[in-house]
Amino acid sequence: MNVAIVTVGDEILAGSTTNTNASWLAERITERGSTVERILTIPDDRALIAEYVDRWSDAFDAVIVTGGIGGTPDDVTVEAVADGLEREFVVHGEIRERLVDKAAAFRDENPEMVEEYDLQLDIDAAASIPEGATPIVVDEGWAPGCIVENVYVFAGIPDEMKAMFEAVADEFQGDAVARTLYTPAPEGSLHEALEGVSDRFDVAVGSYPRSENRPGRIRVSSTDLATVEVALAWLREHVETIAPPSSSEGEAE
């Protein structure tokens, strides 16, 4: 499965918020054997979000869009996805009932806050999703995410986003496998070995230079584990390797 990730947020582009969502999602998707082929950050621009959803839903097996979905005026992500897939944006009855109950419970549990602040909850906006979409409801969030065609819409708040992904994680299972070798050799000395393994085996190979506190890495991936293992064995004969750092448990030596 090839996947594209679109993270939406003016605050990310302004540098006031770090885009941890994309890296977390990419790692989880790769762990499951699928491949992230694009990561894009765009502003809270409804037309622009819709444009990429329209284009990338045809180009990739799955598109993940993370951004504001809470129902406030700047939360345009879900509505933009509806635009991009040419669907109506409608109030989902069951979601609305859930949010009405959740709002009432919040008021009962937080009377002082309700008295101090004029809380304006647009329940209809928060309960709206593209027509025909499947809601992703999690306890961590207020408004739901959703799945519509091959587009997955998650909240932008990291805890909510993670819960939504875990609710549908099984849908991102793929057949790619990857293993990593570690080497003290400088990247400039690896050219012949990297070219050789790519020529001999049906694998994708990436090299990542060493740093002061981390050795260099060679990552080998394919859809066939046996091919990856044979390629790793060949590399071990042609590249000096060392044990992986302790923080990299589970990766090949």
CATH number at residue 211: 3.30.70.1710
pLDDT digits (tens, 9 = 90+) for 9-68: 999 999 999 999 999 999 999 999 999 999 999 999 999 999 999 999 999 999 999 998
* Domain boundary pick from 172, 193, 216: 172
In this structure, are 35 and 144 located in the same domain? yes
What is the total count of domains within the chain? 2
Inform me whether the pLDDT recorded for 2 exceeds 90.
Answer: yes
In this structure, are 159 and 188 located in the same domain? no
**H or E segment at 80?**
helix 77-84
Instruction: Name the β-bridge partners of 160.
Output: none
Q: Are 136 and 168 in contact (CB under 8 A)?
A: yes
Q: Tell me the C-alpha to C-alpha distance, in Å, between residue 190 and each of 193, 205, 217.
A: 5, 12, 11
Please indicate, yes or no, if residue 253 is contained in any of the structural domains: no
Q: Quick one: pLDDT at residue 113?
A: 67
Inform me whether the pLDDT recorded for 149 exceeds 70.
Answer: yes
Inform me whether the pLDDT recorded for 250 exceeds 80.
Answer: no
Mean pLDDT of 134-142: 92
Q: Quick one: pLDDT at residue 117?
A: 65
Percentage above 90 pLDDT, the chain:
74
Q: Quick one: pLDDT at residue 156?
A: 94
Q: What is the DSSP string of 189-217?
A: G-HHHHHHHHHHSS-EEEEE---SSS-EE
In this structure, are 224 and 147 located in the same domain? no
In this structure, are 92 and 52 located in the same domain? yes
Q: What gap in Å lies between CA 100 and CA 124, rounded to an integer?
A: 10
Q: Is 174 exposed, middle or buried (0-12, 13-18, 19+ CB in 10 A)?
A: middle
Instruction: Name the β-bridge partners of 148.
Output: 151
The residue among 43, 102, 55, 45 whose CA lies nearest residue 79 is: 45
- The token pair that represents 108 in the structure block: 């009962």
The residue among 175, 156, 124 whose CA lies nearest residue 8 is: 156
Inform me whether the pLDDT recorded for 119 exceeds 70.
Answer: no
Q: What gap in Å lies between CA 181 and CA 229, rounded to an integer?
A: 11
Please indicate, yes or no, if residue 91 is contained in any of the structural domains: yes
Please indicate, yes or no, if residue 83 is contained in any of the structural domains: yes
Give the confidence band of 189 by pLDDT, cuts at 50, 70, 90. Answer: very high
* Domain boundary pick from 172, 200, 218: 172
Q: Quick one: pLDDT at residue 73?
A: 76
Q: Quick one: pLDDT at residue 155?
A: 95
Report helix, strand or coil for 221. strand
Q: Quick one: pLDDT at residue 123?
A: 87
- The token pair that represents 39 in the structure block: 């990561």
- State which residues form the domain around 155: 2-172
Inform me whether the pLDDT recorded for 210 exceeds 90.
Answer: no
- The token pair that represents 4 in the structure block: 């594209």
Give the confidence band of 248 by pLDDT, cuts at 50, 70, 90. Answer: very low
Q: Tell me the C-alpha to C-alpha distance, in Å, between residue 195 and each of 179, 210, 224.
A: 17, 19, 20
pLDDT digits (tens, 9 = 90+) for 169-182: 999 999 989 899 99
Inform me whether the pLDDT recorded for 115 exceeds 80.
Answer: no
Q: Apex CA 37: angle with CA 34 and CA 40, to 5°?
A: 125
The residue among 134, 199, 195 whose CA lies nearest residue 167 is: 134
Q: Quick one: pLDDT at residue 253?
A: 38
* Domain boundary pick from 147, 172, 197: 172
